[in-house]
């Protein structure tokens, strides 16, 4: 069984992502120690997950070091992000409807609302690759850069953060802004917040200590 703290965070987050991703799609992970991450298993519904179902994978050896289940098919994606981004301690991947819809159009999630500011100036789209492959992982890392989220072309959304609660909040934020953007488009091209305006929001957040509601 993985570290109890990270396991509990993943189980709790799983109950929540189940409301925005269909079936058993998507996957969650947390970094553990210097050389590993704990990830959801392949094909187990989130609402029945227990800590015993989670799988710990070594970053260095790419092998399962704890757990009896098969890790999520996207474990390579999680591994590549942890290796590329030392600041990332949690990853959420979902097939949430509006983010995935934009990914099929190859359109980034644009900053039509300041709720995107915590994630980045926009959420870019990684080039398409087959799910579960090293190529998908490489494309995602390249498009993610130093931001908090990336769309996987014709696939879904990935968010990253220093903790699971934040990564989950990013997924909810991106999905909500994506829904706003998609629903605005038939009415006309929505105005976008500028990078300077988004920076002002981040500065306001630092000053007041908590995001506005």
Residues marked as catalytic = 74
- Min separation Cβ 61 and Zn ion, Å: 24
User: CB-wise, 132 or 211, nearer to Zn ion?
Assistant: 132
- Min separation Cβ 190 and Zn ion, Å: 28
- Min separation Cβ 157 and Zn ion, Å: 9
User: CB-wise, 103 or 115, nearer to Zn ion?
Assistant: 103
Q: Residue 213: is it exposed, middle or buried by C-beta count within 10 angstroms (0-12/13-18/19+)? A: exposed
- Min separation Cβ 139 and Zn ion, Å: 13
Report which of 151, 210, 148, 154 is spatially closest to residue 178, judged by C-alpha positions.
151
**Rounded to a whole number, what is the largest CA-CA distance in the chain?**
52
Sheet holding 64-66, edge to edge: 64-66, 55-58, 36-39, 27-32, 90-94, 156-161, 149-152, 125-126
User: CB-wise, 76 or 172, nearer to Zn ion?
Assistant: 76
DSSP 62: -
User: CB-wise, 107 or 155, nearer to Zn ion?
Assistant: 155
CA distance linking residue 179 with residue 176, whole number of Å: 5
User: CB-wise, 115 or 156, nearer to Zn ion?
Assistant: 156
CA distance linking residue 157 with residue 175, whole number of Å: 9
With CB under 5 A as the contact rule, which of the stretches 44-52, 139-147, 149-157, 162-170 interacts with Zn ion?
149-157
Q: Which residue is nearest to Zn ion (CB)?
A: 156
Cβ–Cβ under 8 Å, residues 5 and 54: no
- Helices 97-105 and 164-184 pack at an angle, to 10 degrees, of 60
Number of residues in contact with Zn ion, rule: CB under 5 A?
A: 1
With CB under 5 A as the contact rule, which of the stretches 16-24, 155-163, 170-178, 190-198 interacts with Zn ion?
155-163
CA distance linking residue 128 with residue 125, whole number of Å: 9
3 state SS of 165: helix
- Min separation Cβ 21 and Zn ion, Å: 8
With CB under 5 A as the contact rule, which of the stretches 63-71, 97-105, 154-162, 198-206 interacts with Zn ion?
154-162
Chain positions contacting Zn ion, by CB under 5 A: 156
């Amino acid at each position: 069984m993985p570290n109890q703290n990270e396991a509990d965070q993943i189980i709790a987050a799983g109950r929540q992502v189940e409301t925005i991703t269909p079936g058993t799609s998507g996957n969650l992970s947390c970094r553990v120690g210097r050389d590993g991450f704990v990830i959801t298993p392949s094909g187990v519904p989130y609402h029945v997950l227990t800590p015993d179902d989670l799988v710990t994978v070594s970053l260095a050896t790419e092998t399962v070091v704890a757990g009896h289940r098969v890790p999520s098919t996207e474990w390579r994606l999680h591994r590549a992000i942890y290796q590329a981004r030392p600041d990332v301690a949690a990853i959420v991947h979902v097939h949430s409807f509006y983010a995935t819809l934009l990914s099929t159009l190859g359109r980034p999630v644009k900053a039509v609302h300041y709720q995107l500011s915590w994630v980045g100036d926009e959420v870019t789209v990684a080039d398409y690759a087959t799910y579960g492959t090293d190529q998908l992982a490489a494309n995602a890392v390249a498009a993610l850069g130093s931001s908090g989220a990336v769309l996987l072309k014709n696939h879904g959304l990935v968010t990253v953060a220093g903790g699971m609660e934040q990564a989950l909040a990013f997924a909810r934020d991106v999905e909500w802004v994506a829904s706003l953007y998609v629903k605005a488009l038939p009415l006309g091209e929505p105005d976008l917040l500028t990078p300077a305006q988004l920076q002002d929001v981040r500065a306001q957040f630092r000053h007041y200590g908590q995001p506005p509601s």
